[in-house]
Amino acid sequence: MGLALVPYTPVSVHHFDRIKKRLPSVLRAEVDQQVRAICQDPSLGEEKVGDLRGVFVHKFRLADQIYLLAYWPDAPAKTVTLLALGGHENFYRDLKRYLSA
């Protein structure tokens, strides 16, 4: 086969850290697992268009609730910048507001 993929390094912004810190431990553990999966394959999420061009959003489910995790992959630096985390309601509105601030 080909060369093994070098995993990306996760880098979180303060906004993401604040959100994650408030989560229950079960959800925090699931977020960590999802971040590891994203670092192995940054194209896992769906790339957004328009105002959020370049931002990827990965959806995952835990206990019948869908969560969204927004990130920016940076191929040359081999990093994934974690931007936001939350439920679907107002997620994109809040993400646009955060990125434009």
Tens digits of pLDDT across the chain (101 residues): 444 466 899 999 999 999 999 999 999 999 999 999 999 999 999 999 998 999 999 999 998 999 999 999 999 999 999 999 999 999 999 999 999 87
Taking the domains of the chain in order of start, what are their residue ranges? 9-100
* Residues contacting residue 56 through CB under 8 Å, at least 6 positions apart: 42, 43, 44, 45, 46, 47, 48, 70, 71, 72, 73
Question: What is the CATH class of 9-100?
Answer: alpha beta
Rounded alpha-carbon distances, angstroms, from residue 77 to 24, 37, 38, 43: 32, 18, 15, 15
Cα 100 from Cα 85, distance rounded (Å) = 17
